[in-house]
A and B are shown apart, each in its own frame.
Chain A
Amino acid sequence: MTATAETQKPVSLTARSLSGRFWRFSAAFVAIAVLAPALALGWEAFGPSQGLWAHLLANVLTQAVVDTAILLAGVGLLVMALGTSAAWLVTAYAFPGRRILEWALLLPLAVPTYIIAYAYLDILHPVGPVQGTIRALLGYSSPREFRLPDVRSMAGCILLLGFVLYPYVYITTRAMFLTQAANLVEVSRTLGVRRSAVFWRVALPLARPAIAVGVSLALMETLNDIGASEFLGVRTLTISVYTTWVTRGDLAGAAQIALAMLAVVIVLLAMERYARRRQRYFATAQRARRFTPQHLGPIAGVAAFAVGIIPVLIGFVAPATYLTVEAAKRMKVNGISPRLYGETLNTILFAGAATLAVLVFGTVVAYAARALPGRATALFQRLSTLGYAMPGTVLAIGILIPVAALDGLIDRVSQMLFGVPTGLLLIGSGAALGYAYVARFLAIAAGSIESGYSRIPRSFDQAARSLGRTVGGTFRAVHLPLSKTALAAAGLLVFVDCMKELPATLLLRPLNFETLATHLYGEAARGTYEEAAVAALAIVLVGTLPVMLLARIGRRESGED
């Protein structure tokens, strides 16, 4: 009778688990929340219209569209040239300092666009250090006799953005060179292609999808930028959205321009998606093998290093040094003001809270797609990661529309019921700003959590379920402990991005609420130079953390450690 002794009846036979429903519902909620701002924009822009399109087109939009197009084209070309050649240099050639250069080339990622613009305004100021030195060398005594072209121009903006955004192209292209090119390059050599021709005939065509992905990411950042264009006097669409709302109080107009920006975003997104599909094809077509670089002689080696370090000097070393010197001067004389301490605390609290929320929501979306595979959860996952493509200003206007209406409603209801006016509760409490952070950075968390899950075999899920764990129980017992590292990495990336965030913060922050980024923006916009350098330095220093993480991942993937 051992048979009956060793088998139990099924525990219980209730239909359909609550746990599964909870995860699916939560994922749907997150997706809708991320999508809501875009829908609100459409509603406001096409809704009860004030007939502003014609006015906008004539006065603002045409110029802004042209300027934005020129900026995007310029930055696109520059990051393509810088990123691709840097990636090729450190992959195809071996020279002293190459290892250092490999990760140093990532450093400009730590410098937000508004900080590089802020720093160079001063570095290249007619009475600043660079022009002063040149004049001293050439024997001129005043800026009136000699000055460089003004950095406050379209060309200046393109250059500066290009030198901090090229790492997007560098990362994707280098990964492609490292993992894919080896076999093909060697085969092409045996077929008679000279070393010097390999780049143009094999490597570059091979890397096209990777370059396209990198460029589209860099251009999304360009479109998102508000500080650099503002400081350097380029009237982009982002600036137009901002001024239309902040100085003219015209929400419908801002929504309409924001909608035009969304059109640009969709083009960039389509380009990225298309390129990624092709990249996947390339990636599966070839087995990964390490690329054997060509050893350079001493002179050529030094030259290669000198050329390779230029983007690092311009994009990171110069602004970071400048900020350090200025911050040190300031702190030696005045110390750090309590105001700056308060702002730092604001920044950390807000970024920290938003990071926690992003991790929770990102986990919900990624785990729902994993544990309850199907069309619905896959769609929720895709929708909830669209926020990363929305420029901060566009997102903020999209959030402002429903939140302002809701705030008005809450205020009226509260006054009616309790006789207490609540004012702008959601905006005043920072809830709206938190919402923006979550919507914008969810993709980062969801992506890195998902890639953590992809290393957990499916059989683990099935084993846990058949051993009696619910969908949620399986998450707690298996996925959470096994994806802790991925979660921590995601948290770091999101935290730093929240901390650096400027455009949405400017629009959605509560009254008289400053973060380090808005402080810097305020000073730079006013043209005063107080503690902005200290704030900027803090942002850059924290920003180097994810860069180091990225460099480590890169080293592991390229088979060194």
Chain B
Amino acid sequence: MAGPDDPPALALENIGRRFGDTAALSGVSLALDAGEVVCLVGRSGCGKSSLLRLIAGVDQPDEGRILLNGAEVAGPGRFVEPEERNVGFMFQDYALFPHLTVEANIGFGLKALPRADARARVAEVIERVGIGALAGRFPHTLSGGEQQRVALARALAPRPVVLLMDEPFSNLDRGLREALRVETLAHLRALGTTAIMVTHDPEEALSAGDRVALMRKGRIVQAGTGYDIYDRPVSLYAAEFLSPGSRVEGLCRQGRIETPLGTYPAPAGSREGDRVVLFIRPQALSFAPQGEGVEARIVNRAFMGEREQFTLAVNGVAETLKLYASDRPHGAIGDWVHIIVNPGATLIFPHADTKCDS
């Protein structure tokens, strides 16, 4: 792995990019150590793909610097063309050249090598990714999963400084997607490849990377390990992006937060009279025996196999609450039940946060 004095494999410093009047990216900073895999996650249009294009060099930033292994490849007065950066790029549509065989596609980026070396490298990559049977075929004869593997092999063949993956699994069926994600990450780990993966799926982001960077409107709003950002989202937006849940309004009084669901210890820095929003994830709720917790009415129950989702209404709470149960409790739609909230699993945000929820 990288030594303490090595520069990061990739460093983004205060990147800005405008398209006409709209800022696609602003103030984006991020550093990846060698061998690190970072997931960029966010809604469509948040700027994650634009960021990849800047790193690859197929677009130029208006502000900020990009460094690969400590060398500046984009910055004020300096721009290194994409073909000279040695950055791997994997596309959502795989972008396999239809007029070339699988073998020729994988060898496409090895033009600088002597022919024999290039051929040996192609064979090596094909072997590693396990697509030996496809070598002589043309892309249109391959299945989606096979195309994905070829695209990975092609991007890895030139030993890129960093591998960029733009929604690499989104064109695959659900089951195949997970299998290929595990397989791809195993290859990256084995080769020690530094990689950025763009996705819009929070589950994929949390599970795939060493770190997750959550983007919104052209900015990175939070970066950290999956646990970090899931357990301590910096904003209501981050919390709602990463998991389902409900908002419950509360008021700060005498050092405690009062809500229709009960009272909670106020977070540090709260002042008397502050309005706050509690974000309650389904797993923070559970059914309680008669007489405990608060009363709730069952609005809907949906059986989903391994678990069952209850939608509940509580007097004084505007939004309905969701609760997951796996033990098939009794209770029909319209029945009144009792629920309790696990205080440690709720997140508290200032009320102002609710306004910016796009």
Contacts and interface: CB of A to CB of B under 8 A. Distances in A.
A284 to B, nearest CB: 20
Contacts, number: 130
A466 B2 contact: no
Contact of A462 (B2, B82, B99, B161): B82
A556 interface: no
A415 to B, nearest CB: 49
B194 interface: yes
Contacts of B91: 459, 462-463
Contacts of B164: 466
A205 B68 CA distance: 58
A354 to B, nearest CB: 29
Contacts of B92: 459
Nearest to B189: A2
B58 A466 contact: yes
A2 B56 contact: no
Nearest to B111: A468
Contacts of B86: 8-11, 468
A13 B73 contact: yes
A6 B68 contact: no
A469 B95 contact: no
Contacts of A10: 68-69, 71, 73, 80, 84-86, 161
A263 interface: no
B35 interface: yes
B75 to A, nearest CB: 11
Contacts of A465: 56-58, 81-83
Given A460-B95, A469-B111, A14 B161 contact: no
With most chain A CB atoms within 10 A of its CB, the pick from B35, B82, B93 is: B82
Contacts of A2: 190-192
Given A9-B161, A20-B81, A466 B56 contact: yes
A473 interface: yes
A8 B98 contact: no
Interface string A1-35: 01111111111111111001000000000000000
B206 interface: no
A15 B34 CA distance: 25
Interface in B111-159: 111-112, 154-155, 158-159
A482 B158 contact: no
Interface of A: 2-17, 20, 457, 459-470, 473, 477-478, 481-482
Contacts of A460: 95, 97
B35 A15 contact: no
Contacts of A9: 69, 71, 86, 161
B310 interface: no
Interface residues of B, number: 48
B34 A3 contact: yes
A375 B337 CA distance: 65
B191 A6 contact: yes
A15 B79 contact: yes
Contact of A3 (B1, B56, B57): B1
Interface string B171-196: 00000000000000000001111100
Nearest to A466: B89
B109 A468 contact: yes
Given A7-B160, A459-B93, A477-B108, 15 more contacts: A2-B191, A3-B193, A6-B192, A8-B158, A8-B159, A9-B161, A10-B68, A10-B73, A10-B80, A10-B86, A16-B79, A16-B81, A463-B95, A465-B57, A469-B83
A183 to B, nearest CB: 29
A5 B53 CA distance: 26
Given A465-B58, A468-B109, A482-B99, A14 B84 contact: yes
Contacts of B348: none
A477 B68 CA distance: 27
Contacts of B9: 7
5 contacts: A2-B190, A7-B160, A13-B80, A467-B83, A469-B83
Given A10-B68, A459-B91, A467 B108 contact: yes
Interface in B307-339: none
A408 to B, nearest CB: 45
B84 A13 contact: yes
With most chain A CB atoms within 10 A of its CB, the pick from B69, B84, B91 is: B84
Given A463-B89, A468-B158, A481-B99, A11 B111 contact: no
A477 B98 CA distance: 12
A230 to B, nearest CB: 49
A4 B6 CA distance: 11
Contacts of A15: 78-80
Interface in B14-49: 34-35
Contacts of B58: 461-462, 465-466
Contacts of B159: 6-8
B88 interface: yes
B192 A466 contact: no
B71 A4 contact: no
Ranked nearest first, the 6 interchain pairs of A and B with the lowest CB-CB distance are A3-B192, A467-B109, A459-B95, A465-B82, A466-B89, A459-B91
Contact of A482 (B35, B98, B194): B98
B51 interface: no
A13 B34 contact: no
Contacts of B85: 10, 466
B57 A466 contact: yes
B53 A468 contact: no
Contact of A470 (B69, B83, B190): B83
A6 B193 contact: yes
A14 B56 CA distance: 16
Contacts of A5: 192
A467 B154 contact: yes
A473 B160 CA distance: 19
B87 interface: yes
A463 B89 CA distance: 6
A63 B1 CA distance: 87
With most chain B CB atoms within 10 A of its CB, the pick from A3, A7, A10, A462 is: A7
A473 B97 contact: no
Given A3-B34, A463-B91, A17 B112 contact: no
Nearest to B82: A465
A365 to B, nearest CB: 21
Contacts of B109: 466-468
A400 B117 CA distance: 57
With most chain B CB atoms within 10 A of its CB, the pick from A3, A15, A467, A478 is: A467
A306 B97 CA distance: 50
A262 to B, nearest CB: 34
A116 to B, nearest CB: 43
B27 to A, nearest CB: 25
Nearest to B194: A7
